[in-house]
Every structure is written in C-alpha cells, then in structure tokens.
C-alpha cells in the first residue's frame, strides 16, 4: 500500500534495522523499543491486521516468527509475542505485525 510505513520498509524506501528476512516475511527492530529486544515480524503482503489475515498463511507466519526468535536467541529465555488489533488495542500501524519483545524479565500487569 502506497502510504503504509511498513510497506515502505519492505521496499527499502525508508530505513530500518532488518534482522531477518525471507521471500514472504521480514523482521526489523521497533523504532521505539520497550525492552532490550523489540522486533516486529510482518508479512510482505499488506494486510491490515490479524483478523484479515488468512489462517492458512499463519502457518508460514508462525514458522517465520519461530525462526526469527531462534536467529536472535530469544528462544533461550523466552519472549512476549503481541499483535494489536484495531482501536481498543492501540494499533497504530495498519499493516499486520507481531511484536517480539524480550531480552529481560518482562512485567505483566492490568492494562486498564
């Protein structure tokens, strides 16, 4: 999509710290990381959010996320995987992405 910031990252029109990539997916560092490691895993195809994403494609997305986690070493001590969906979640970029957050003991508390 023309004015999608993540599509621009995929097309190398704006810079990003890309950590892992294959034909269909790309993983890069979140520009405002909330933990020592904060990556975003996205499909190269523009899809607004998880609800719009075909479940059959989740098999490959899921494998890519696991490979990225292993590549970065997040698989050893663990990490959090989050995908924000629509307004109540605070989704701010409307191109499907999974946050991979780790590299430290994470807090978990009431969010509202």
Active site residues: 97
CA distances to 26, 43, 98 from 109, rounded to whole Å, are 30, 29, 20
SS3 content of the chain, % helix, strand, coil (to 5): 30, 20, 45
**Does position 90 bind ligand AMP by CB under 6 A?**
yes
**Contact string 10-29 vs ligand AMP (x = CB under 6 A):** ----x-x-------------
**Does position 92 bind ligand AMP by CB under 6 A?**
yes
Residues that bind Zn ion (CB under 5 A): 1, 4, 6-7, 46, 95
């Amino acid at each position: 999509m023309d004015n999608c910031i993540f599509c621009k990252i995929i097309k190398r029109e704006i810079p990003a710290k890309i950590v892992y990539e294959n034909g269909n997916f790309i993983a890069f560092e979140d520009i405002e990381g909330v933990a020592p490691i904060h990556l975003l895993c996205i499909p190269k195809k523009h899809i607004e959010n998880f609800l719009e994403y075909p479940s059959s494609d989740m098999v490959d997305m899921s494998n890519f996320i696991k490979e990225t986690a292993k590549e970065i070493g997040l698989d050893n001590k663990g990490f959090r995987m989050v995908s924000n969906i629509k307004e109540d979640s605070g989704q701010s970029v409307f191109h499907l992405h999974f946050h991979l957050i780790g590299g430290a003991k994470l807090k978990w508390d009431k969010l509202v």
